[in-house]
Amino acid sequence: MTEPRFIPLPAYRRYPEEEMARRASEFYEEVRRRRTVRHYSDRPVSRAVIEDCLRAAGTAPSGANRQPWHFVVVAEPEVKRRIREAAEQEEREFYRHRAPGDWLEALAPLGTDEHKPFLETAPYLIAVFAERYGAAPDGGREQNYYVTESVGLATGLLITALHHAGLATLTHTPSPMGFLNEILGRPPNERPFLLLVVGYPADDAVVPDISRKPLEEFATFV
């Protein structure tokens, strides 16, 4: 058994209560401005910004600290084109045949369909993969834990970091997404989790007129 090693908690900051309240409220004001965007500008985005946002994502807590995520950042137009082609093929099936009526009804307020031009317009697609198992030092399989939860937490941080930097995102989940392994050359232990579209919103971007639940509806204090 490996013995645990401990260090004093590094870099923790305790704020005076007033400042804490102000920070909490300001953060909420910042994140509530985030909207999922489906209309993108082709304006380039600095790779260094994407790298920092990925570093932020990589600070997420994970089961047994396995950090079971891998992010593939796609900027190459030909690769984006192939991803769009494969995604639209799946989406056509979804919207025309696979989706049950109640699912289509639930999506109706969003106005989505099988056309995904943003997969080529936006400067970056970030394919998020979940490492179902890792490689042990002896070449065998190393079990990962709470993989979906861990990758979800990292992706949430990534979306928040990108928003904080002034970029728009779209959480896109073509289903099934196996084509991402093939196009991006990822190994079979990595399960595609979602595809994040990243860039500046188009000048004429519009978003669905939908609202968020008030706190009382989604939180209970006992």
Q: How far is the CB of 62 from ligand IYR (least distance, A)?
A: 25
Q: Which is nearer to ligand IYR, 44 or 109 (CB)?
A: 109
Question: How far are the Cα atoms of 13, 20, 22 from residue 16, in angstroms, in the given order?
Answer: 10, 6, 10
Q: How far is the CB of 108 from ligand IYR (least distance, A)?
A: 11
Sign for the CA dihedral angle at 203, 56, 21, 220 comes to positive
Closest-approach residue to ligand IYR (CB): 112
User: CA–CA separation, 26 vs 20, rounded Å?
Assistant: 10
Q: Which stretch binds ligand IYR (CB under 6 A): 106-114, 118-126, 132-140, 179-187?
A: 106-114
Binding of residue 112 to ligand IYR (CB under 6 A): yes
| Cβ atoms 67, 215 nearer than 8 A | no
For ligand IYR, the closer CB: 159 or 189:
159
Name which of residues 124 to 163 contact ligand IYR (CB under 6 A).
none
* Beta-ladder partners of 172: 195
Q: Which of 91, 155, 158, 193 binds ligand IYR (CB under 6 A)?
A: 91
**Partners of 124 in the β-ladder:** 198
| Shortest distance (Å) from residue 116 CB to ligand IYR | 7
Q: Is 107 in the site for ligand IYR (CB under 6 A)?
A: yes
Rule CB under 6 A: is residue 207 a binding residue for ligand IYR?
A: no
The sheet carrying 190-199 orders its strands as 69-74, 124-131, 190-199, 168-172
The nearest distance, CB 172 to ligand IYR, in angstroms, is 5
CA distance 68 to 174: 21
Asked whether position 174 contacts ligand IYR by CB under 6 A, the answer is yes
Q: Which is nearer to ligand IYR, 57 or 87 (CB)?
A: 87
Look-up of token digits 């399960």: 191
The DSSP annotation for 83-133 comes to: HHHHHHHHHHHIIIIIS-HHHHHHHGGGT--S--THHHHSSEEEEEEEESE
Judged by CB under 6 A, the stretch of 9-17, 55-63, 171-179, 186-194 that binds ligand IYR is 171-179
Site residues (vs ligand IYR, CB under 6 A): 91, 94, 107, 110, 112, 172-175
